[in-house]
C-alpha cells in the first residue's frame, strides 16, 4: 500500500465527488474516440473513475488511487493499481494509449510518457490543458493564486509531443457551454457553480492553495456576481455555444 499519493494531488483525501462532478462530456469523448481511430485495445493511464473510456474497445485502465478506483461504475473494467512511470505490461501490448486530464499530475512526466509509448504500438492520445491560455482564463482576475498554481502544473504542449515522438498532431477542443465534465473552464459561462464546494473539491487545483486563499477567492467571486460586475465584464460568455480555451488533444502516432 502506498504511504503517499502517487501524483501531485491526494485523491484519497480529496477525490470523493469526482464520479458525480467529473462526468465525461460526450462531445469531448467523441473527439478522443476519433483520435484513437481503429484500435481494438486501449490502455487508459490515470483512468480515475472511468471518464472517456470508449465503450466499444477492450480497455485496460490504470489508476493508483483506491478512492478513484472505488468510484468506477460496475460496467467498466476494474483498474490496475499502478503508476504511469512503471506500467506492468510488455512492450507494444495495446493498439492505443490514452491519458486524459492526468499528465500534469505525474511526478515524472518523461518516465510516464515513455512508459505509455513503450506499451502502445499505435497512437497515444493525451487530453490536457495548454498552460498559457489557461492562465488567461477569467478566473485569474478573482482567484489569482489558484490559476497560477493550476497553469503552472500543466506541461507545455510541445514538451508532451516531443517526449512521445513520432507524428504529433495537436487539436484545440472547444468547451461546450453545457459541458458535463466539471473542470474549471467547463464553467466559463456558469460562474455560480464555482461557489459550490462540492464542485471545487472535484477540481484538484483548489488543493494547491490554502483554505484562506480559497475562502478569499470564493468571497471575491460571490461579490462580483452579486454586484453584477462579473456580468458586465464577462456576461457575454453566458450565451456562447462553446469556449475556445486551453483544452488540447495531442495525438502521437509512431513513424
Beta strand extents in 103-234 (DSSP E only): 124-129, 167-172, 175-176
Greater confidence, 207 or 125? 125
Whether residue 62 lies inside any domain: the answer is yes
Whether residue 61 lies inside any domain: the answer is yes
Provide the 10 A C-beta neighbour count for residue 16.
Answer: 16
Whether residue 3 lies inside any domain: the answer is no
Q: What is the pLDDT of residue 207?
A: 86
First to last CA, the chain: 39
Give 232: exposed, middle or buried? Use CB within 10 Å, 0-12, 13-18, 19+. Answer: exposed
Q: What is the pLDDT of residue 67?
A: 85
Whether residue 176 lies inside any domain: the answer is yes
Whether residue 1 lies inside any domain: the answer is no
Whether residue 2 lies inside any domain: the answer is no
* pTM for the structure as a whole: 0.90
Give me 72's grid cell.
468506477
Degrees to nearest 5, angle at CA 82 with 76 and 88: 100
Q: How confident is the model at residue 175 (pLDDT cuts 50, 70, 90)?
A: very high
Q: What is the CATH number of the domain that holds 200?
A: 3.40.50.150
Query: Which pLDDT tens digit goes with each residue over 212-227?
Result: 999 999 999 999 999 9
Domain range for 194? 11-253
Whether residue 185 lies inside any domain: the answer is yes
Q: Which of 21, 73, 13 is nearest to 47 (CA)?
A: 73
Whether residue 33 lies inside any domain: the answer is yes
Helix pair angle (157-164, 109-119), 10° resolution = 40
| Domains of the chain: total | 1
Instruction: Tell me the average pLDDT across 155-184.
Output: 97
Q: What is the pLDDT of residue 49?
A: 84
Amino acid at each position: 500500500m502506498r504511504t503517499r499519493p502517487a501524483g501531485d494531488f491526494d485523491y484519497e483525501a480529496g477525490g470523493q465527488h469526482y464520479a458525480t462532478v467529473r462526468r465525461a462530456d460526450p462531445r469531448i469523448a467523441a473527439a478522443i474516440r476519433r483520435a484513437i481511430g481503429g484500435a481494438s485495445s486501449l490502455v487508459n493511464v490515470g483512468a480515475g473513475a472511468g471518464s472517456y473510456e470508449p465503450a466499444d474497445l477492450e480497455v485496460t485502465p490504470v489508476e493508483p488511487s483506491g478512492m478513484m478506483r472505488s468510484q468506477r461504475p460496475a460496467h467498466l473494467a476494474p483498474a490496475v493499481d499502478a503508476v504511469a512511470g512503471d506500467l506492468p505490461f510488455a512492450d507494444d501490448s495495446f493498439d492505443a494509449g490514452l491519458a486524459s486530464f492526468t499528465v500534469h499530475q505525474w511526478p515524472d512526466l518523461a518516465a510516464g510518457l515513455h512508459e505509455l509509448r513503450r506499451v502502445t504500438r499505435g497512437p497515444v492520445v493525451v487530453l490536457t490543458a495548454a498552460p498559457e491560455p489557461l492562465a488567461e482564463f477569467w478566473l485569474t482576475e478573482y482567484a489569482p493564486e489558484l490559476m497560477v498554481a493550476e497553469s503552472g502544473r500543466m506541461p507545455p504542449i510541445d514538451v508532451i509531443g516531443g517526449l512521445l515522438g513520432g507524428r504529433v498532431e495537436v487539436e484545440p477542443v472547444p468547451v461546450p457551454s453545457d459541458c458535463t465534465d466539471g473542470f474549471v473552464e467547463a464553467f466559463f459561462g456558469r460562474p455560480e457553480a464555482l461557489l459550490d464546494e462540492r464542485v471545487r473539491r472535484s477540481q484538484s487545483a483548489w488543493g494547491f492553495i490554502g483554505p484562506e486563499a480559497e475562502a478569499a477567492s470564493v468571497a471575491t467571486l460571490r461579490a462580483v456576481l452579486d454586484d453584477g460586475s462579473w456580468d458586465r465584464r464577462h456576461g457575454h460568455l453566458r450565451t456562447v455555444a462553446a469556449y475556445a480555451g486551453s483544452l488540447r488533444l495531442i495525438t502521437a502516432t509512431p513513424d
